[in-house]
Structure 1
Amino acid sequence: MDAYFAWAKQKYSQVTHNSTIGKALAYSINQEEYLRVFLSDGNVPMDNNYAEQAIRPFTIGRKNFVMIESSNGAKASAILYSLVETAKANMINTFEYFNLLLTEIPQHMDDKDLRFIDDLLPWSPRVQKECPSRHKKS
């Protein structure tokens, strides 16, 4: 990685800074600190393939979304996709998770204290226990 940044800095001095390649080199040089994070933190993936794969159904389906005629419909769709993909990422049963959300949230509609939401997050012990995935690896 050090060799890349040395090469990029050398090449950047040789190209027009407003050119496409100049802008690309400048971007990578300016983002060096962030691009190196995965080297010091093993929890940070080297690429974003997982995120790309997670949004693929959404991007493929967007041609079908022309039927969403309002910004509220688009917002609702985005929220649902986000909930589904977050449930899948946390290896919980999506159907059971929605069932839990749709039975639990209405019971708190008048609550001023929203701390109950913490128990409904996909990584909470409660959700992990009540919504186990059939595909979870032991």
Structure 2
Amino acid sequence: MWSAYRQLPKTKLVGCWAHVYRKFFEATPKQADKKSLGRKGLDYCDQMFSLEASWAELSSAERLCKCKERLAPLMTTFFDWCRNQSVLPGSKLGRAITYALKYEETFKTVLTAGSLVLSNNLAERAIKGLVMGRKNWLFSQSFEGAKSSAIILSLLETAKRNGLDSEKYLTYLLEKLPNEESFAKKAVLEAYLPWSETVQADCK
């Protein structure tokens, strides 16, 4: 977990449970017994992802209720289990447990909002194009350039996730936004977000 993120103001980190799963997976031999500690750690993760998958069609408010009711107790059990294990710190299993406990509060952030998810895999796949591209264009030349790239990419990927044609959406913004007299009111910008009814009607 990149330490620089922890220095950003007004930022709350959300830990990725796929990373926890991966560390326990790497610590568990293929022939390991089902009752082995590594398998147990994987089982906890599987239960969490299974619960989340079963809530896919729920609203954010409903998901939050489910998180507090079902997911929170399961996480508490998992972290208590981690604390009660006696394994070599330098072993793969020891490192998996240490990693989970080190960022425990970060992994629990998902319990604070129904819009959050256990895994960051979706976001990582969304920026794959940028990661591949930067090997060709190498640099953003400046901090502001990198910041602008991040904003535009985030906006376009959010548009895709909301079922929009990203090119139509970008064109819509470039044509409509300059005609607004002021952005002081929150409602003005909200009308241009990918999930607004007007945008949904014009940019698919």
TM-score (norm 1): 0.69
Is 1:23 matched with 2:95?
no
Q: Which residue of 2 aligns with 1:9?
A: 83
Between the aligned partners of 2:122 and 2:136, the Cα distance in structure 1 is 24
CA contact (8 A) 2:168 2:203 kept: yes
CA contact (8 A) 1:8 1:29 kept: no
Using the TM superposition, give the Cα deviation of residue 30 of structure 1 relative to its aligned residue in structure 2, in angstroms: 4.5
Q: Which residue of 2 aligns with 1:135?
A: none
2:162 to 83, 90, 94: 90
CA RMSD of aligned residues (A): 3.0
1:103 to 169, 175, 188: 175
The answer to which of 98-107 and 73-82 deviates more is: 73-82
2:197 to 120, 125, 137: 125
Between the aligned partners of 1:122 and 1:45, the Cα distance in structure 2 is 20
Between the aligned partners of 1:85 and 1:125, the Cα distance in structure 2 is 18
Specify every segment of 5 or more residues in structure 1 that has no aligned partner in the other structure, as ranges. Answer: 133-138
Between the aligned partners of 1:56 and 1:112, the Cα distance in structure 2 is 32
Between the aligned partners of 2:119 and 2:183, the Cα distance in structure 1 is 41
* Superposed CA offset, 1:35-94 (max 9, x none): 6x4xxx6x6544232222112112222223424222222222222211111111111011
Between the aligned partners of 2:144 and 2:104, the Cα distance in structure 1 is 40
How do residues 47-58 of structure 1 correspond to structure 2 at under 5 angstroms? 47-58=119-130
Q: Aligned AA for 1:111?
A: S
Using the TM superposition, give the Cα deviation of residue 25 of structure 1 relative to its aligned residue in structure 2, in angstroms: 4.1
The structure-2 alpha-carbon separation of the partners of 1:29 and 1:74, relative to structure 1 and needing over 3 Å to count, comes to closer
CA contact (8 A) 1:9 1:29 kept: no
- Greater relative contact order (Cα < 8 A, sep 6+): 2
Aligned residues: 123
CA contact (8 A) 2:79 2:101 kept: no
